Amino acid sequence: MITLPPPAEFWLPPKPAIIRHAPDIKVPDLKHGILPGIAPKLASNAPLAASYVTNATDSSAATTYTFSNHAIGAAATNRYILVQVSGTVSAVSRNITSITVGGSTPTTLATTSGTTQRGCQGFYIISIPTGTTATTVVTFDGSMQCAQLSVWRLTGLSSLTAVDTQYVESSSTTNLSCTINVKNGGAIFAGSVNRGNLPTQTWSGANKENGAVVNTFTFSSADATGLAAQTGRAVSIAWSGGSGFQGTLLAVSLR
């Protein structure tokens, strides 16, 4: 028997090590809630959606007025309620001292006391995601002859701070006007009150939503939504159809 030697073994050199860079580890940016190198998702550019809901008046003489279970529109997680309240009385100047909407204190956007006989008013906003009604309670620093409430439903609001506010008053004209700044996609809201029986109110630069004569005092409110950015948008109201005039105009711009 022939014995063969074992086959030769081929020597292979070891493979050289391949060094690769470790992947970058993304560390969350806690300040902005995003990862470095990843562009943040931009906020929606959709315009502020605002719809007028209701108006209520109270002809009684009082210091505190309660507007019970008024409509606030359909519920939504991003719903805000905007209210404009006003009141007037002869011979003295008054101020709004407190207000609650749905049992909570809203954010004040703008208020004015008005001078003698011209009444006072204010705009306030609050988040109310649930329910379709709310009760608003407003207190003045003295007895009033009547009061009024206007309500809007807002979604898509980007700030609780007004873009701009404007106020004018007069005892010598039946026309009041102001100019107000607007952000793109924003909206403006305006309220006017006078000590006179003037049942016809004509708005320009805003759409009339209501008007009422209560105890010879007249209230009206208006709005304009889905606006382009502009500086100095003119808003005005002209009163007619009666006599007497001690008037104020308050406007706010939101986005």
User: Does an H or E element contain 85, and which?
Assistant: strand 80-88
Please report the pLDDT score of residue 33 as a whole number. Answer: 38
- Distance (Å, whole) CA 10 – CA 132: 87
Q: Exposed e or buried b for every residue in 65-93, given b needs 16+ CB within 10 A? A: bebeebebbeeeeebbbbbbbbbbbeeee
Please report the pLDDT score of residue 72 as a whole number. Answer: 99
Model confidence at 26: pLDDT above 50:
no
- What type of residue sits at position 171? S
Please report the pLDDT score of residue 112 as a whole number. Answer: 92
Kindly report the average pLDDT of the chain as a whole number: 85
User: Does an H or E element contain 121, and which?
Assistant: strand 120-127
- Distance (Å, whole) CA 130 – CA 125: 15
Task: Tell me the average pLDDT across 62-74.
Answer: 98
Model confidence at 50: pLDDT above 70:
yes
Model confidence at 214: pLDDT above 50:
yes
Main-chain phi, psi angles of 61, to 5 degrees = -85, 120
Question: Which neighbouring-strand residues pair with 70?
Answer: 134
Please report the pLDDT score of residue 22 as a whole number. Answer: 42
- Distance (Å, whole) CA 97 – CA 181: 28
Model confidence at 146: pLDDT above 90:
yes
Lowest mean pLDDT of 12-21, 53-62, 238-247, name the range.
Answer: 12-21
Please report the pLDDT score of residue 14 as a whole number. Answer: 53
Share of the chain above pLDDT 70, in %: 80
- Distance (Å, whole) CA 135 – CA 25: 53
Question: Which neighbouring-strand residues pair with 107?
Answer: 125
- Distance (Å, whole) CA 83 – CA 123: 6
Place of tokens 């991003």: 78
For residues 180 and 7, the model is more confident at 180
Contacts with 150 (C-beta within 8 Å, 6 or more apart), sequence order: 52, 54, 55, 83, 84, 85, 191, 209, 210, 221
Q: Interior CA angle at 56 toward 51 and 145, to 5°?
A: 140
